[in-house]
Structure 1
């Protein structure tokens, strides 16, 4: 009887440890710590005179879009061009729509208006968890459909995404048939979220335990948030994207490795372009290579822009 009690107690302890580790791993994913919005505002507006002056002078309107998941997506329409051409900007994890201002300014030079929006659980948008593209792609669909319904069948819509936002753009383009997009620009996307979290964990755990941790996280993320890590894999759907894609990555990016963009490029259908920039850590490609980044966008749009 004593051995049986000891056995049951041991099983209980192991199960409790299993659940605790599973919750810890998935909490770090689902409720990833975000940047302070005031820090982003200071970086993008207060301390950036060029962006501040531009953002203050352009006609803009804050809008609210209903998510299919039951919350509100907060967005801003920036209307500077008298033409039915729009780019929807999908920002990275921990950021807000303000980090997209730099790209809205860039695309204005090529005749595009902008829709910047807050991803779920970021900025002013609702949503309880971050899913790194799984649920975010549904919100991106809602934003794109808003533009389509607002401006009609002749509107040209592109998507520019950074990091998680780039993965979201690919997942959207490769998941939904008959979408109205004309192009996608994917700046430093991950190819597979499982591989990405494994890469991050490599710094302080062995490959053996990293693999086990990913398997455990996959089990708990499915139980807690309704999807599996394999469903957050742009590499699995990029070949279904039927519009031109420009992949941009910096060679100095050690957070999401440039090899991930190279893999996505190889798997994507034509027409496609890949630009590897020499300078800049993660998500800093434009800030550190402004002329080269602009030239890459100009060359890409030359082949996709409607008259």
Structure 2
């Protein structure tokens, strides 16, 4: 094989390797999530067993089903849609559904594309997920009518999804967004992972190759997964939450998003907990932050 052929083969191999790691990221075993959230958590298990639930299927505009659960505990048209993080399932949102019940909200928990029992071939870290979130919001709006109050709460990739949704679609019916440990830029996040893990995969040159193959294979580029670019287009109140000890998605990303967002907005930095553990490790402070935020946005 010629030198040119060897270089081309290496280029293609690197492109496929990098985009495979993103598009087909290894997910947690659903049984592990079920054990963590239900079997070994008596409080959540008892709550989830007693609350009225309705399993629904929502059609994604991309041609696959989005599986969701409506939890109706409040006799009012107030709902929070919970968008979970990468590798998780909707069961990881139960803790937040319980929390928001205290404030008079019902819950819609759903599986992101390629997660849980929802369809979808790839994970896109918010690019296609924001379109699915739009479908879930539209379902709630059409079901409960224009009087419904709808909020969105997202964690990690789910938080980025919520911000991308809010900053992309005009005239959205949602009343607020709560973004728990979002990344501001997926490219920057990948670069941080490379630095933290001294990974040979995510060098600057490798990211350029990944970008080319990502557009070819999955229809978007890394720059299109950047909440920081659209957060100033969001017209509803936003609460950013991040733990100071998060070393996976650094807290400065929420600070940067907060600075770029329009008023009304709030930023809460919590002292304890690694990535996506803000509520588990700071229950009282997290609850107080939600209560204060909702006091200003909740409709009578």
State TM-score, norm by structure 1: 0.96
- Taking the aligned partners of 1:248 and 1:130, their CA distance within structure 2 comes to 24
What count of residue pairs does the alignment treat as equivalent? 300
- Taking the aligned partners of 1:302 and 1:215, their CA distance within structure 2 comes to 45
2:230 is matched with which residue: 225, 237, 244?
Answer: 237
User: Is contact 2:126-2:160 (8 Å) kept?
Assistant: yes
- Taking the aligned partners of 1:287 and 1:102, their CA distance within structure 2 comes to 9
The aligned residue for residue 170 of structure 1 is: 163
How many angstroms does 1:208 deviate by? 11
2:112 pairs with 1:101 = no
How many angstroms does 1:203 deviate by? 2.9
Change (3 A) 1:151 1:194: same
User: Is contact 2:18-2:201 (8 Å) kept?
Assistant: no
Q: How does 1:79-158 map to 2 (within 5 A)?
A: 79-158=72-151
2:48 is matched with which residue: 48, 55, 77?
Answer: 55
- Taking the aligned partners of 1:154 and 1:223, their CA distance within structure 2 comes to 42
Q: Secondary structure at the match of 2:113?
A: coil
How many angstroms does 1:209 deviate by? 6.7
Change (3 A) 1:208 1:253: same
State TM-score, norm by structure 2: 0.98
2:255 pairs with 1:262 = yes
CA RMSD in angstroms comes to 1.2
Change (3 A) 1:153 1:35: same
Q: Secondary structure at the match of 1:273?
A: strand
Runs of 5+ in structure 1 lacking a partner? Answer: 1-7
1:296 is matched with which residue: 270, 289, 297?
Answer: 289
How many angstroms does 1:236 deviate by? 0.1
Q: Secondary structure at the match of 1:120?
A: coil
| Structure with the greater alpha carbon radius of gyration | 1
